[in-house]
Amino acid sequence: MKKITKVVIPAAGLGTRFLPATKAQPKEMLPVVDKPTIQYLIEEAAAAGVHDVLIITSRNKRAIEDHFDRSVELELLLQEKHKDDTLEQVRAISDMANIFYIRQKQALGLGHAILCAKEFIGDEPFAVMLGDDIVHSQTPCLKQMIDCYETYGGSVIGGQSVPWDEVSRYGIIAGQDVADNVKRVTRLVEKPAREEAPSNLAVLGRYVLDGGIFPLLEQTKPGKGGEIQLTDALDELARRQSVYALNFEGRHYDIGNKLGFLQATVEYALRDEQVSQAFRRYLTDILEQEIKK
């Protein structure tokens, strides 16, 4: 079995749900506490032992490339001021992974964005991490996905159960139990109405895929929203070979919407040693003031 050595991160979206903040700033660079959201993904990949990262970008995304590049002037300034801890943090950003970039020239959907990685991936199995999904867990989410792939030998889709009234926001999985947290996928439906959803197990932004997904993506016709949907290609893949769904462990944040972004910001701040105590007191004070109103 081939090892997973490459991960694809689609980051070509326009971030319209966060306008005007994303008018000139990539949504992937919006910070959760003190890191841009895309850095959390690359840290997770590196912690899972995957160091070759392909980021699918588009126009006006140069800030992502600049963030992961070396900044000689900044490093010299920090060195002169003897800010050694900060200097180490800055250098670590550009050293944590080998990062490559390809532009998606047309906004034709997630499936099309993954198809842009075909030449980079070849026929190897690879991972996909979506920029709108951050997972906080003891074992890196991507490591859980890779372990599942190595155990069962087929493509793996990461997910968790969501409230039934939210199934129309996600790709939804139907399957047969293989283990307590693993299903063999029988069907996938992209953003179904509640009454049409086969389950409430939602696809949540982590995949380990066989290279055979590329021919299927090339044949996939535009689906929901007029876009080439990865879910549609995975549904077809599950008809041809074993595809598994892992109900992964961890706290998932959908930072593609404002509430999820705020939840991530608050909870990561509460875990931050530098600000957690003062921030907790602040939140307590705010809550007490709201109760008094």
Q: Which domains does the chain have, with CATH numbers?
A: 6-256 (3.90.550.10)
Residue 3 tokens, joined? 């090892």
Average pLDDT (175-201) is: 90
pLDDT in tens, 214-254: 999 998 887 766 788 898 899 899 989 899 999 999 999 99
Average pLDDT (149-178) is: 92
Reduced to 3 states, what is the DSSP secondary structure of residue 82? Answer: coil
Does the structure show a pLDDT above 90 at 24? no
Return d(Cα 40, Cα 203) in angstroms, integer: 19
Find the helix packing angle between 72-80 and 84-95, rounded to 10°.
160
CB 184 within 8 A of CB 103: no
Residue 255 tokens, joined? 């930072």
Reduced to 3 states, what is the DSSP secondary structure of residue 71? Answer: coil
Does the structure show a pLDDT above 70 at 85? yes
The residue whose two tokens read 């949540």 is 204
Report the alpha-carbon angle 106-110-113, nearest 5. Answer: 55
Between 222 and 129, where is the model more confident?
A: 129
pTM above 0.85, yes or no: yes
Average pLDDT (64-81) is: 88
Lowest mean pLDDT among 35-49, 60-74, 150-164, 218-232: 218-232
Does the structure show a pLDDT above 90 at 289? no
pLDDT tier, 157 (very low <50, low <70, confident <90, very high otherwise): very high
Q: Which residue type does 79 have?
A: Q
CB 259 within 8 A of CB 265: no
Beta strands 155-161 and 35-36: pairing type?
A: unpaired
- Predicted pLDDT at 105: 84
CB 91 within 8 A of CB 84: no
- Predicted pLDDT at 58: 87
Return d(Cα 241, Cα 206) in angstroms, integer: 19
Element (H, E) at 279: helix 276-292
- Predicted pLDDT at 224: 67
pLDDT in tens, 193-221: 998 899 999 999 999 998 889 999 998 88
The residue whose two tokens read 């055979």 is 212
Does the structure show a pLDDT above 80 at 175? yes
Return d(Cα 231, Cα 256) in angstroms, integer: 18
Cis peptide upstream of residue 20 (ω within 30 degrees of 0):
yes
| Residues ≥6 apart with Cβ < 8 Å to 64 | 11, 26, 28, 29, 36, 38, 55, 57, 101
pLDDT in tens, 253-264: 999 889 999 999
pLDDT tier, 94 (very low <50, low <70, confident <90, very high otherwise): confident
Residue spans of beta strands (DSSP E) within 70-161: 98-103, 126-129, 133-136, 155-161
Task: Kindly compute the dihedral angle of the four CA atoms of residues 38, 41, 43, 45, in this order, to the nearest 10 degrees.
Answer: -140
Return d(Cα 173, Cα 171) in angstroms, integer: 7
Backbone region of residue 277 per phi and psi (left: phi > 0; alpha: psi in -120 to 50; beta: other values) = alpha
Return d(Cα 191, Cα 209) in angstroms, integer: 21
